[in-house]
Amino acid sequence: MGILWSYFLGMMMLIFSISSIIAGIFTAYFGSGRSRAIGGVLIAIGIVVLVFFLGYAGLISIGVEPLFKGTVANGVVSVIGAIVGALIALGIFLAAIMKA
List pLDDT tens digits, range 32-41: 888 899 999 9
Cβ-contact 57, 10 below 8 angstroms: yes
| Number of structural domains found in the chain | 1
Q: Please report, for residues 25, 54, 99, the alpha-carbon distance to residue 51 in angstroms, rounded to integers and kept in the order given.
A: 18, 5, 44
Share of the chain above pLDDT 90, in %: 28
Nearest-angstrom CA–CA distance, 84 and 15: 14
Please, where are the H alpha helices in the chain?
3-30, 34-56, 72-99
Write down the mean pLDDT value for the chain. Answer: 86
Nearest-angstrom CA–CA distance, 25 and 13: 18
Which structural domain, as residue segments, surrounds residue 13? Answer: 3-99
User: pLDDT tens digits for 17-67?
Assistant: 999 999 999 999 988 888 899 999 999 999 999 999 888 888 788 887 877
Return the pLDDT at 77: 82
pTM: 0.71
